[in-house]
Amino acid sequence: MKYDDSTPGRLGAFRPTRRQFVTGLATGGAALGLGLARAPASAGTPARRGGAALVTGTEFALDIGAMPVDITGRTRPAITVNDSLPAPTLRWREGDTVTVRVRNRLRDMTSIHWHGILLPSNMDGVPGLSFNGIAPGETFQYRFQLKQSGTYWYHSHSLFQEQAGLYGALIVDPREPAPYHYDREHVVLLSDWTDLDPAALYRRTKKMPEHDNYYQRTLVDFVRDARRDGLAETIADRGMWGRMRMTPTDISDINAHTYTYLVNGAAPAGNWTGLFKPGEKVLLRFINGSAMSYFDVRIPGLKMTVVAADGQYIHPVSVDEFRIAVAETFDVLVEPMGQDAFTIFAQDMGRTGYARGTLAVRDGLAAPIPSRDPRPLLTMADMAHDMGGHGAHKGMEGGCGAMMGEGGCGANMGAMDHGAHGATSNAPNHPASEAGNPLVDMQSSASEPKLDDPGIGLRDNGRQVLTYGAMHSLFEDPDGREPGRTVELHLTGHMEKFAWSFDGIPFASAEPLRLKYGERMRMVLVNDTMMQHPIHLHGVWSDLEDADGGFHLRKHTIDMPPGTRRSYRVRADALGRWAFHCHLLYHMEAGMMREVRIEA
C-alpha cells in the first residue's frame, strides 16, 4: 500500500533548467570519498574532495534549490545547496569576518542557521526571531565575525527543510594551533534521509506516532518472558506498563522503517570512504545532522580519542564508542594501522539500522560490518519512576521492570498527586502547568543528572562508552560567576498525540523566557517524558554543570535522556531573541520550543 500523502508536494519545484540528478549517492560514495587532506593547522585551501564540496575563505555564495536525488534507488525531491546534499562543507577561520550570500531558488521561504556559532541575533537565521526569512528569488547576506573555532554545522530553520537535505558541515579553524596533533582530517556528517515528503511524515506521525515501532512486546514475547521470569512477574511487568499506557520499546519515534542513514550523504551501500596512511593520526569531525536520529558510533579495531565536543576542546578521553545526539559534534582522533580498512559503524539508538563508512588506505576497500546490538527496553528506572513512593528502591538500576513485586510502579501519571512522593530528595517540583494537562502523559519522580550513565542500550556492553561525566572542558569556566538565579523547565510530551512542549505549554502558547543582558543564570532541565531530547539554546553557550553544580563542559546542545535532570550555566552576553528548542525536528515543530529573550 502506497502512502497516499507521500507525493512530492512542497518540494516539487523542479525547474527544467535545473533538471540535474544527483545520482549515485546510493552506490557512488566511494568515488566521493577522497577526504579533506590538508596539513594540520595550515590555512591552506584544499580542493573539493569530500562527500560534499569544501569551500574556504571569507566570501561565500550559497544557492538553495530543489533537486531530485537518488539515495535509496528511487528518485525523490530534495533541497540542496549549490547542487549538493549535504550542503558544501564551509571552512572558516577564527577572527575572520565572513560574508555569506544565500540565494533562495525554492518556491518557499528558506533560512540558514549557523548551529553553535556566536553571532548577532539578526545573523542567526531563525525566521520570526532573527529576521524575516529569505523569500523565493531573494538573496540574504549574512555577515559576522567569528569568535570561536571548532566543528559545527549549519541547517535550515524553516519548517522541514533540514530533513529534506538542507544541512552541511562548518569548520572554523583556530587562530592558535589545536592542542593536539593530526596529519589528516575527515568530516563524518551523519544524517537521516526519507523518501517521503517530510511534511507528510510529520502528518503521519501526528496520526500514528508508533508507526515505525515494529518492536512492541507481543504475545510471543509474553510467553517467552513468562517462561524465563515466571508468570506472576511477567504479568506484573506488563501491568505496570499497561497502567501507564506506555510501551518500553519506544526508543525513537521514526526509525529505519522510514529512514536511510547516511554518512556524508552516502547510504550504507555507498560506503563513503575516508583515506589514511598507516601511522597517521586522523581527526574525524563527527556531526549529527539528523532530523530525528541518535547514533551510537564505533570503529571496530580502533580506540577513539575524543578531543572536542560541540566545537570546544575537552581533556582527551579515550573510548570505544560514543552516542551522538542530534546536533552534537565530536572531534575524534584515531590512529589506524595494522589493517587496510576500518568500518565506521553508526547504529541508530533503537538498533533498527545503521550508517556506515570506511577508513581505508585506498578506495574500494571495506571491512566487516558489525551486527546491530540487541534492541534495548526502557525500564522504569530509565524514566526516573521511583516506584510509586517505594523510596528504598530509588536509584535501583534496571529496577522496576521485572523485579517490582507490588503494584504502583507505573503510578506516576499526569493527573496524579505528587505530594506523596515528596520524601525523595530529588523529587522534582513539577510546574503547575503540568498538572492535569492533557498534553502531559507522564512525569518523572526521581530524576538525576546521570552524567556517568552511558545511556539506554550502551550499559555493560563490554565497550568503553563516552559519557558526559567523562568529558571536561579543557578550560576553566570563562565566566566564573555563580549563577544569580535558577530557571527550571520540564520537558513534557504526550506519546499518543505526538505533542511536545516545555512545562506542558507548546511554543504557540508560551511566553518568552526573559534574561537580563549580562546575567549568569542556571538552567535546570527535567525530562518528564520517555524519549531522549537534545536541547539547543541559540546565541550563547550552555555550560553543563557537574552533579555538584560546578562548571564541567561547554556545549551548544545538551542531551537529555529520559529520567534526567541536568543543569547548565548560561551567560546572557548576546542581546536578542533566540530560539531554544529540542533539536529533534518533529518535536520542535510539535511545540517543544521557547523563545529566550536577552534584553538590555
Partner 1 sequence: MKTHSPAPLGLVAAIALTLGFAVPASAQHHDHAHHRATTDAPTQDAHAHHDHAAMSQAEPATASTAPREPIPAITPEDLAAAFPDIDHHAMQHAPAFNHKVTFNRLEAWDADEGTGQAWEGSAWFGTDTDRLWLRSEGERMGGHTESADLEVLYGRSVSPWWEVMAGIRHDFKPGNARTWAAFGVQGMAPYRFEVSATAYVSDDGQVAANVEAEYTLRITNRLILQPLVEVDIAADDDPDYGIGRGVTGIEAGLRLRYEISRRFAPYVGVVHERALGDTADLRRLEGESVRDTRVVAGVRLWF
**Residue 241 grid cell:** 506498563
Q: Which is nearer to partner 1, 126 or 188 (CB)?
A: 126
Quickly list DSSP for 472-533. -BSS--SS-PPPSEEEEEEEEEETTTTEEEETTB-GGGPPPEEEETT-EEEEEEEE-SSS-E
Site for partner 1 in 117-176 (CB under 8 A): 120-123, 126-133, 158-160, 176
Grid cell 526502557 is found at 378
Which residue from 15, 74, 228, 516 is in contact with partner 1, where contact means CB under 8 A? 516
Smallest CA-to-CA distance from 467 within 561, 335, 584 is with 561
Q: CA 493, 329, 578, 141 torsion: positive or negative?
A: negative
Site for partner 1 in 338-367 (CB under 8 A): none
Q: What are phi and psi of 240, to 5 degrees?
A: -60, -45
**Residue 220: how many CA atoms within 13 Å on its side-chain side?**
2
How many residues in total does the chain contain? 600
Shortest separation between residue 596's beta carbon and partner 1, angstroms: 12
542-545 vs 113-115, strand pairing mode: unpaired
Smallest CA-to-CA distance from 296 within 215, 356, 337 is with 356
Choices 27-35, 226-234, 312-320, 455-463 (CB under 8 A): range interacting with partner 1: 312-320
Per 3-state DSSP, what percentage of the chain is helix, strand, and coil (rounded to 5)?
10, 35, 55
Q: Which is nearer to partner 1, 12 or 179 (CB)?
A: 179
Shortest separation between residue 270's beta carbon and partner 1, angstroms: 27
Site for partner 1 in 477-506 (CB under 8 A): 477-488, 494, 496-497, 499, 506
Q: Which is nearer to partner 1, 21 or 517 (CB)?
A: 517
Site for partner 1 in 275-304 (CB under 8 A): none
Angle at 326 between CA 454 and CA 297, to 5 degrees: 50
Site for partner 1 in 540-569 (CB under 8 A): 546, 548-551
Q: Which is nearer to partner 1, 363 or 448 (CB)?
A: 448
Q: What are phi and psi of 557, to 5 degrees?
A: -140, 125
Which residue from 112, 282, 590, 592 is in contact with partner 1, where contact means CB under 8 A? 590
Binding status of residue 397 toward partner 1 by CB under 8 A = no
Choices 93-101, 311-319, 348-356, 360-368 (CB under 8 A): range interacting with partner 1: 311-319
Residue 77 · residue 106 · CB < 8 Å? no
Shortest separation between residue 96's beta carbon and partner 1, angstroms: 18
**Residue 89 grid cell:** 562543507
Residue 444 · residue 412 · CB < 8 Å? yes
485-494 vs 499-502, strand pairing mode: antiparallel
Shortest separation between residue 428's beta carbon and partner 1, angstroms: 11
Shortest separation between residue 14's beta carbon and partner 1, angstroms: 21
Strand partners, 343: 358
**Residue 112: how many CA atoms within 13 Å on its side-chain side?**
31
Shortest separation between residue 66's beta carbon and partner 1, angstroms: 16
Q: Which is nearer to partner 1, 158 or 527 (CB)?
A: 158
Q: Which is nearer to partner 1, 401 or 449 (CB)?
A: 449
Three-state DSSP class for residue 104: strand
Binding status of residue 519 toward partner 1 by CB under 8 A = yes
Binding status of residue 49 toward partner 1 by CB under 8 A = no
Shortest separation between residue 36's beta carbon and partner 1, angstroms: 21
Which residue from 173, 197, 328, 441 is in contact with partner 1, where contact means CB under 8 A? 441
Choices 3-11, 13-21, 84-92, 529-537 (CB under 8 A): range interacting with partner 1: 3-11
Q: Which is nearer to partner 1, 92 or 182 (CB)?
A: 182
What is the three-state SS of 277-316? CCCCCEEEEEEECCCCCCEEEECCCCCEEEEEECCEEEEE
Binding residues for partner 1, total number by CB under 8 A: 115
Alpha-carbon distance of 231 to 182, in angstroms, equals 57
Site for partner 1 in 202-261 (CB under 8 A): 202-203, 206-208, 211, 214-220, 239, 242-243, 245
Shortest separation between residue 560's beta carbon and partner 1, angstroms: 17
Smallest CA-to-CA distance from 282 within 328, 233, 238, 342 is with 342
Binding status of residue 183 toward partner 1 by CB under 8 A = no
Binding status of residue 315 toward partner 1 by CB under 8 A = yes
Site for partner 1 in 92-111 (CB under 8 A): 109
Alpha-carbon distance of 555 to 308, in angstroms, equals 10
Q: Which is nearer to partner 1, 11 or 123 (CB)?
A: 123
> 240: Cβ–Cβ under 8 A, 6 or more apart, which residues?
380, 400, 404, 407, 409, 410
Binding status of residue 337 toward partner 1 by CB under 8 A = no
Q: Which is nearer to partner 1, 287 or 306 (CB)?
A: 306
Q: What are phi and psi of 242, to 5 degrees?
A: -65, -40
Shortest separation between residue 187's beta carbon and partner 1, angstroms: 21
Site for partner 1 in 449-478 (CB under 8 A): 452, 464, 467, 469-470, 472, 474-478
Shortest separation between residue 181's beta carbon and partner 1, angstroms: 5
54-56 vs 87-93, strand pairing mode: parallel
Which residue from 137, 179, 278, 368 is in contact with partner 1, where contact means CB under 8 A? 179
Q: Which is nearer to partner 1, 95 or 239 (CB)?
A: 239
Q: What are phi and psi of 91, to 5 degrees?
A: -120, 110
Choices 201-209, 293-301, 340-348, 374-382 (CB under 8 A): range interacting with partner 1: 201-209
Binding status of residue 316 toward partner 1 by CB under 8 A = yes
Q: Which is nearer to partner 1, 92 or 541 (CB)?
A: 541
Which residue from 305, 339, 424, 461 is in contact with partner 1, where contact means CB under 8 A? 305
Q: Which is nearer to partner 1, 84 or 564 (CB)?
A: 564
Site for partner 1 in 416-435 (CB under 8 A): 425, 429
Angle at 380 between CA 442 and CA 522, to 5 degrees: 60
Q: Which is nearer to partner 1, 51 or 116 (CB)?
A: 116
Q: Which is nearer to partner 1, 73 or 484 (CB)?
A: 484
CA distances from 282 to 181, 301, 312, 313 (A): 9, 15, 18, 16
Smallest CA-to-CA distance from 274 within 184, 208, 156, 197 is with 184
Q: Which is nearer to partner 1, 200 or 262 (CB)?
A: 200
Shortest separation between residue 539's beta carbon and partner 1, angstroms: 9
75-81 vs 542-545, strand pairing mode: unpaired
